[in-house]
Amino acid sequence: MRTRSRSTGWILLGLIGIAMIAAACAARGGRRAPSAAEARAFVQSANAQLYELSVKAARAEWVKANFITQDTEAIAAEASENYVTASVALAKRAARFDGVALDASTRRQLELLKRAITMPAPEDRALARELTQIATRMDSHYGTARYCPGAAQGDDCLDIIEIREIHEKSRDPDALLDVWQGWRTTSAAIRDDYRRFVELANQGARELGYADTGALWRSNYDMPPAAFAEEMDRLWQQVLPLYEALHCYVRSRLSAFYGPDVVPLDAPIPAHLLGNMWAQQWGNIFDLVAPADADPGYDLTSLLARAGYDELHMVRSGENFFSSLGFAPLPDTFWERSLFVKPRDREVVCHASAWDVDEVDDLRIKMCIEVGAEDFQTIHHELGHNYYQRAYNRQPFVFRGSANDGFHEAIGDAIALSVTPAYLVKLGLLEREPPASQDIGLLLRAALDKVAFLPFGLLVDQWRWGVFSGEISPKDYNAGWWALREKIQGIRPPVPRPETLFDAGAKYHVPGNTPYSRYFLAHILQFQFHRALCALAGYAGPLNRCTIYGSAAAGRKLNEMLEMGLSQPWPVALQALTGSREIDASAILDYFAPLKTWLDAQNQGRRCGW
């Protein structure tokens, strides 16, 4: 899967950092109750100082991500340290106004300042510095990690892009096992760093009044932490029958290809055989599992090559999509400052991300683009972040974010759902839409990415919640990781995984400290958004064939929600676009309903589950 960051890079994703409010401001209140005017002045000052620190940290992080050296790591770590330490100080100071009668906007800004922290630094400056240095070191380790097969060195070593390509294309189980194990040797080096990271972050969370860092994360959804965990479980139960049907079908096809000794029909699927380094999306094995009569009728990668698309042309197509909805073109600086192609002369973090460096109009994407279907969709997704960032840039600074973190990801993915055959026809890439009889192939291909991802999107944070709470101790990091993967995802490691390794750390978002529940929510919300946008565009056919390209009506309604940013609780923003205040997985079930009927027929007589 393309994993994507929300905005300005790994550490800025969920940090809302601010400068420490002057000591005189605190002293002014003394022992008397603070006034509403003082609260408003506090928020205004915090917004201004937050803006200044965020720009400094974003610029430092951009340079570090694009020029990975010891010096850029040190600069980024220092900026992050200032950012994080100050954010914790402000969260504590904001609590002083808890009992003050305030207007709704000021109250919400104070609440966001208190809870919107994903890396809570301890108050002790030395410990805060240690925390940010560890975080920067883990992130850079991931960006520079290489697997060197055997005694190979130098040019013979494989980076994550090369390893990912082997996973996507190889059908040799031995070769797949080799690179699967090899990449996970690189993450073992950060196991001790991560243990210490958890200790320090938990200390910071407890100083803020939370039981642990996981509880702090779960508090950031306009509901109590326990209610959020229940909401995640409710949504998972809605989609579980669809996932179980897909898992059962895919396992049977892999067993037929590799043999029942490699893929038993009554056990979890070996993790290295699903076409993805983390077995989080399975679209790359479509050729192994697609029935003979499920040809989708076209190959987007081939269409792009035939039309002469290069990296820049792909990005221009994404911009054109938003222009067709009525959005203004991207600024000239976007084209001057973005990274589209992997440099040959230096190390960069290739993980695709969308940035708003000055939190106003300095929009950028950072990608090592490869011309093909996957990155064509990723570009539309990342630009969804950029247009969201620009839509809310006139809000007070603490409101410059998505309604919840799942919204930012869902907007990008909802736009990518409009990359349909009908859209490709409008671009001139495809002569005509395939007939409806070929929809099963298209739906199966989409489900291998969208539906297969759901349990992985759920379990990454469930593992971290257990780590932060102490339910999963450092001596059981690997065992806890694989227990969840088997229980929720029906996936098992192909070989034993000792506790000297750190397999969770082989996934970018763990060393990058990016909360992952947003991706699960996004995979539900994107279909809810897509269904609403298609209705606004006047479309009444099957959801999987809808594109909103060219619909000014859909664009206007979408922009109304985007402009809200974080200024309203997410149910209000959701209602503005969809008419409902509740996240509802029925849209994803509607989208894949024809496929579910087909899968159930294929699975008759099989023993499903694991």
Beta strand pairing call for 491-492 and 269-270: parallel
Specify whether 509 is catalytic: yes
Inter-residue contact 13 to 5 (CB < 8 Å): yes
The whole-angstrom separation of Cα 266 and Cα 326 is 52
Specify whether 141 is catalytic: no
The whole-angstrom separation of Cα 348 and Cα 439 is 39
Inter-residue contact 25 to 90 (CB < 8 Å): no
Residues with Cβ within 8 Å of 540's Cβ and at least 6 positions away in sequence, in order, are none
Instruction: Please pick, among 380, 509, 523, 530, the residue that the annotation labels catalytic.
Output: 509
Instruction: Please pick, among 167, 247, 272, 381, the residue that the annotation labels catalytic.
Output: 381
Instruction: Please pick, among 81, 359, 409, 486, the residue that the annotation labels catalytic.
Output: 409
3-state secondary structure of 259: coil
Instruction: Please pick, among 210, 298, 519, 539, the residue that the annotation labels catalytic.
Output: 519
Amino acid at 538: G
String of b and e for 178-199 (b: at least 16 CB within 10 Å)? bbbbbbbebbbebbebbbebbe
Angle between helices 225-258 and 517-536 (to 10 degrees): 90
Instruction: Please pick, among 382, 549, 576, 591, the residue that the annotation labels catalytic.
Output: 382
Structure tokens that stand for 573 in this block: 């923003």
Tell whether the torsion through CA atoms of 172, 175, 179 and 181 is positive or negative: positive
Inter-residue contact 68 to 140 (CB < 8 Å): yes
Specify whether 382 is catalytic: yes
Q: Which has the closest alpha carbon to 248: 261, 234, 267?
A: 267
The whole-angstrom separation of Cα 510 and Cα 464 is 8
The whole-angstrom separation of Cα 110 and Cα 91 is 8
DSSP letters, 499-551, are TTS-GGGGSTTTTTT--SHHHHHHHHHHHHHHHHHHHHTT--S-GGG---TT-
491 DSSP β-pair partners: 269
- For residue 328, what is the DSSP state? P
**In this structure, what are the phi and psi dihedrals at residue 29, rounded to the nearest 5 degrees?**
-70, -30
Q: Which has the closest alpha carbon to 585: 231, 248, 220, 306?
A: 231
Amino acid at 170: S
584 to each of 234, 235, 245, 423, 596, how far by Cα in Å? 10, 7, 20, 26, 18
Angle between helices 36-66 and 125-144 (to 10 degrees): 40
∠ CA(454), CA(271), CA(232), 5° rounding?
Answer: 20
**In this structure, what are the phi and psi dihedrals at residue 606, rounded to the nearest 5 degrees?**
-95, 155
Instruction: Please pick, among 385, 408, 523, 530, the residue that the annotation labels catalytic.
Output: 385
Specify whether 313 is catalytic: no
Cα diameter, the chain: 76
Amino acid at 185: T
Specify whether 519 is catalytic: yes
350 DSSP β-pair partners: none
Instruction: Please pick, among 60, 245, 352, 587, the residue that the annotation labels catalytic.
Output: 352
Specify whether 381 is catalytic: yes
3-state secondary structure of 552: helix
Instruction: Please pick, among 167, 351, 380, 530, the residue that the annotation labels catalytic.
Output: 351
Q: How far is CA 510 from the centre of its chain?
A: 12
The whole-angstrom separation of Cα 1 and Cα 398 is 31
Q: Which has the closest alpha carbon to 334: 309, 314, 320, 355?
A: 355
Q: Which residues are catalytic?
A: 351-352, 381-382, 385, 409, 509, 519
